Amino acid sequence: MDRHEIEARIGRILRERANVEVPTADTDLLESGALDSMTFVELLAQLEQEFGVPVDIAELELDDLRTIARIGAFVASALGAVRS
């Protein structure tokens, strides 16, 4: 799965599960208020389900979540770790 595909899937999760239309992969989700705790918890659950990567909330940094691109990078590296 390439980065573009991962980002598209994250965008779809936000659209379908949280009704949030995020304009670009670089839109700041925290500043725009799109990502509140409710949406966030839903997003983590969906990331685990959709990509099969475990997400440990205790290890997350805020910057991992700031944009769709950053979340995508996080998922990609987790996928890499799962495969190897």
Partner 1 sequence: MTEPLHAFLLRQAERAPDRVAIVDGERRVRYGELARWSERLASLLRGAGCDKGDRVGLLLPKSAAAIGAMHAVLRAGGIYVPLDPQSPAARLRRIVESSEPRLVLADGTSWARAAELDALCGGLRLGLLDRSPEAPGPRPLFDAGDLDSATSVVGAPSVSDSDPAHILFTSGSTGTPKGVVITHGSVRAFVEWANGYFGAGPEDRNSAHSPLFFDLSTYDIYGTLHAGAELHLVPPHLNLLPHKLAAFIRDHELTQWFSVPSILSYLARFDAVAPGDFPRLRRLLWCGEVFPTPSLRYWMSRLPHVQFTNLYGPTEATIASSFYTVERAPEDDREPVPIGWPCGGEELLVLDEALQSVPPGGTGEIYIAGAGLSPGYWNDPETTARAFLPDPRNPGSRIYRTGDLGRVDERGRLVYLGRADSQIKSRGYRIELGEIESALNSLGLLSECAVVAVPTDDFEGQIVCCAYASERESLTPQQLRGRLTELLPSYMIPARWKRWAELPKTANGKTDRKRLREDFAEAAHSRR
Please report, as a single letter, which amino acid is at residue 70.
R
Provide the minimum distance between the beta carbon of 84 and partner 1 in the complex, in angstroms, as a whole number. Answer: 26
Residues of the shown chain interacting with partner 1 in the complex, contacts defined by CB under 8 A: 15, 18-21, 30, 32-40, 57-58, 60, 62, 65
For partner 1, the closer CB: 14 or 75: 14
Distance CA 79, CA 81 (A): 5
* Inter-residue contact 18 to 43 (CB < 8 Å): yes
Provide the minimum distance between the beta carbon of 37 and partner 1 in the complex, in angstroms, as a whole number. Answer: 6
For partner 1, the closer CB: 34 or 69: 34
Q: How far apart are the first and last CA of the chain?
A: 15
